[in-house]
Structure 1
């Protein structure tokens, strides 16, 4: 029923309650104003979440409380004219599925008669990032990864009538987070995957007019008198807190503590207070390895719900929420680092990690670091994973995921020529027009190592050719180079050499709705701006349906799970239920047949680990030069492909990724980058000259994480400047704009890019 018709029927009723009309398929929902409050409701008794933004502020995603036979959530402290944009996600028992309502704007009048821009039955997503019908790709209609029928994992923030409850997963730490003299906070200690995760529950009664915040600690192994610290002080030591108390043991796996006084301010706790918290962990004896640890430092804003990314301010580096523009990965964004461990920035859990994912994350990390030949762990003093020894295929690229993805960062080319490439994937195939078939001697991947016998082939960078050099206006010298490959045993006619990319943020990119990316595409350059990005489409290896490609240099896979399974198969020769047959050419021996070596549960852990790596926060967000550079970046046309902001789907299965505003600086589309960067191997709909726009988040941390810099698909660019100067095709105009900048503007642009 339309808003106008409803108003005509029941205008007097709407003066009291802005109510939606029920239908056979949907629950009734809406909002009832009262004084300075507004009560939002969904008439269901199963779970429901509210997603809302007050006055265009930060989006809140909260579990509602069932009261009086319906889900309710009250927003308090409203003033006349305040606006709330909101939608609900709720479980519909009639279809055993989750439903979403449309985004709706409510304007508060302060007198009990607020206006509502329209409530009603759930829709297909109009007004949301998921809006519109499924897009079409070159291979036909694209099937979305997430829809209103997707089973949703539980929200980590729950609203009840007496408290807002936040739940977050965590792991143990070696030292306190501000102890930069030890450089021992971000790294992982031995046996990190055994008995050393927990989750924290913050029960905030202050948010509902109460006076107490209770913090509960849940463990997978008994702890021995853990302690709770809150409200950072930092005057005498960098690990000093105003509030220090022992947890009270409830049972072997639950411990509780409470606080009702903000000693930092010398008063009762209030809504809006910054409560930094930390836990002292002591494993109950006997236990193998070390027993005493610390937890992750977290910042909770009283009354808001959820853990927020933060930075240190002032001489004591007190914790303050980062501004929205620095939340590169939404609520997955990591806090600003204090511990002086630049190489470990891509190893961290998402800040909003759900409790259910804490242990799978560390167990997935163990698999990521496992040598599938002998079961050893890449980090010292960890036991051999005997269950996964001897799974390495006879032909392989490297023995472990971490062997290519060092510190989860960008790979670097070998420092010397004529060295076997161990962190590149070299794709091969026989090309006939736009069709690629298997190379009889190599399969679809060149695997330069063998467990036994002679490797199928070898590939090396034999030399580098300088293609251009000169001086930019302002005096900056540059030199561009490209690799020349040499092959042993078999020389493929068609190939594409690709260096390992960084891994952070992949779960968020998977959660971006296909319709949103389709809205950025302009395959025929209808607007005449010289940019004609188009969507890659791929076949889902599990279901056979057409998906939007997202991952890889040419967007050749649709899901993190598929990317992980493909790497296991083609890089290490480890089979899964996704890819049961090893990469094998028709003339090769010893690689035929099907098997499943890695169980679905183990592949799921590896997938969750990669998906849930936290995204580092933007740095220099208030620096005048960096802010100037952001404007220059946009004016040069860079943002036409490196789209600054995307919004993830409200239907994303994992709660960490649901309805997040992220800043990856990519449109996930294919763009023709010119002959200079082209290879001679098409992939799906991508020609040799087309490449997916690489995300820029974390790019300024490359040197610290990887120990050097290498950009573009084959690592040829040794700096951001070189990477820009290699842009051709659709990137030519932006490259020329960069070249023609004044030295000051060019340096500002580079400072901005390196702040991401």
Structure 2
């Protein structure tokens, strides 16, 4: 039977030849006049040699193109566990039991559907799936991270297994915020408000801090982990020494394996240092599955039924074995980034120049070289185009969650990678963007930018319509 990997190889053999020919033609036709020069060779290869060529609904689900056979086997095993549904313990067949006691989803793929991006509910009464709410109170935990809300913990879980109360319900409401471009064309943004109800253990703390966050796409994570730390820190400008109004800075977060603070790279506030720790944290927070990294159930003292619920897996062992954690981590590290599609189009090329001129590329850094990631040669030493600096930036009060996360303040967010963003509509059938999905497309996402990005936003708002459309066409090509 033909596997997904073999279908991918067949497709790539067909796709790579015309791509190579096109690159040769571009090089042959290049002009000495920089203004008229075409795109840099390799511009379309967002993930370097890991890049795949696909525009279907499965565009985010392929292994890196340059994986060897052993790595492809590891990818396939992790793919299985990523898509596997977990059930309540005890189960007749152990190995995938231990769901909950409270949880948000029953599998990783439930939130990261087709390895893509989650979305907020689109109609009243729809359950949150692919959108979660972090909880904390002022102060920090023992390692400098957020202090859990004392009754509901660090993440709101709206589901519970049989005999364990779900924590309650949460809904989102929107108010329209009108505005207009400099040329008079109107637009409207939607501002979200979150409402908790049916709380099983009484009201949330009066000083609770909440942060809604959608599940991001899974592509290119290994490439981001392979970027050398000194490269990320070298892009920081905490004191804005160059006076451009942009002062990105790193988030140093607790690394459980190393027992010390290291550079944060993953999550909306760069609050996780490695893909492995991010995977383990998601298993615990979203599914209620313990691991060697996060061995304690998320059951605050007030939730007695949660604390007394049976555990899954082998007696005395975490519910997620190290073998399965390693498999899902390997899968997450080697998911490929799809290529650009229309990088030769004149309108797209003009939009890319406008993107740079508006200083969007000051944070969404177009090109970076990866270093060596031990055990993962496929993502090592690649020229990638992620459009991120992995740093924290103050995005202003309109996007603020007012919830600190290690060094990140309540107005700071990590620069989101833009690679693959133009395929979200194909893969996930929506265009809800930003950390909480409030933006209904690229234009709204840009218009919500504030703080350090206010000048870029204002430049976009002041552009003639044709220029705005060109910039948006560039984003759609990523």
Q: State the TM-score, normalized to the length of structure 1.
A: 0.56
Q: Counterpart in 2 of 1:487?
A: 196
Alignment of 1:717-756 (within 5 A): 717-756=439-478
2:303 counterpart of 1:588:
yes
Q: Counterpart in 2 of 1:451?
A: 161
State how far apart, in whole Å, the 2-side matches of 1:405 and 1:507 are: 17
Q: Counterpart in 2 of 1:330?
A: 48
Q: Counterpart in 2 of 1:138?
A: none
2:171 counterpart of 1:461:
yes
Q: Deviations over 1:191-222 (max 9, x none)?
A: xxxxxx7xxxxxxxxxxxxxxxxxxxxxxxxx
- Give the CA deviation at 1:362: 1.2
Q: Counterpart in 2 of 1:351?
A: 65
2:145 counterpart of 1:432:
no
In structure 1, runs of 5+ residues without a counterpart are: 1-170, 174-187, 189-196, 198-278, 280-292, 301-306, 315-321, 376-383
Q: Deviations over 1:273-316 (max 9, x none)?
A: xxxxxx7xxxxxxxxxxxxx89533449xxxxxx96864989xx
Q: Counterpart in 2 of 1:408?
A: 115
State how far apart, in whole Å, the 2-side matches of 1:696 and 1:386 are: 41
State how far apart, in whole Å, the 1-side matches of 2:445 and 2:246 are: 18
State how far apart, in whole Å, the 2-side matches of 1:712 and 1:515 are: 27
- Give the CA deviation at 1:602: 1.1
2:368 to 641, 646, 654: 646
Alignment of 1:554-565 (within 5 A): 554-565=269-280
State how far apart, in whole Å, the 2-side matches of 1:637 and 1:567 are: 34
Larger Rg: 1
Alignment of 1:514-529 (within 5 A): 514-529=229-244
- Give the CA deviation at 1:624: 0.6
2:2 counterpart of 1:172:
yes
State how far apart, in whole Å, the 1-side matches of 2:78 and 2:18 are: 27
How many residues are matched? Answer: 444
- Give the CA deviation at 1:420: 2.9
State how far apart, in whole Å, the 2-side matches of 1:312 and 1:524 are: 44
- Give the CA deviation at 1:323: 4.2
Between Structure 1 and Structure 2, the one with more strand by share is 1
Cα distance change on mapping 1:439 and 1:336 into 2, 3 Å: closer
SS at match of 1:478: strand
SS at match of 1:358: helix
Alignment of 1:706-721 (within 5 A): 706-721=428-443
- Give the CA deviation at 1:482: 1.7
Q: Counterpart in 1 of 2:291?
A: 576
State how far apart, in whole Å, the 2-side matches of 1:504 and 1:748 are: 25
SS at match of 1:483: strand
Q: Counterpart in 2 of 1:75?
A: none
Q: Counterpart in 1 of 2:250?
A: 535
SS at match of 2:10: coil
Say if 1:537 and 1:549, in contact at 8 Å, map to a contact too: yes
State how far apart, in whole Å, the 1-side matches of 2:82 and 2:216 are: 15
SS at match of 1:625: helix
Q: Counterpart in 2 of 1:551?
A: 266
Cα distance change on mapping 1:355 and 1:385 into 2, 3 Å: farther
Say if 1:446 and 1:456, in contact at 8 Å, map to a contact too: no
In structure 2, runs of 5+ residues without a counterpart are: 23-39
Q: Counterpart in 2 of 1:442?
A: 152
Cα distance change on mapping 1:712 and 1:452 into 2, 3 Å: same
State how far apart, in whole Å, the 1-side matches of 2:13 and 2:41 are: 14
Between Structure 1 and Structure 2, the one with more helix by share is 2
SS at match of 2:43: helix
- Give the CA deviation at 1:587: 2.3
- Give the CA deviation at 1:701: 0.6
Q: Provide the alpha-carbon RMSD of the alignment.
A: 2.6
Alignment of 1:118-517 (within 5 A): 172-173=2-3, 296-299=10-13, 311=19, 323-337=41-55, 342-373=56-87, 386-432=93-139, 436-453=146-163, 455-466=165-176, 468-474=177-183, 476-488=185-197, 489=199, 490-492=203-205, 493-517=208-232
Cα distance change on mapping 1:297 and 1:432 into 2, 3 Å: closer
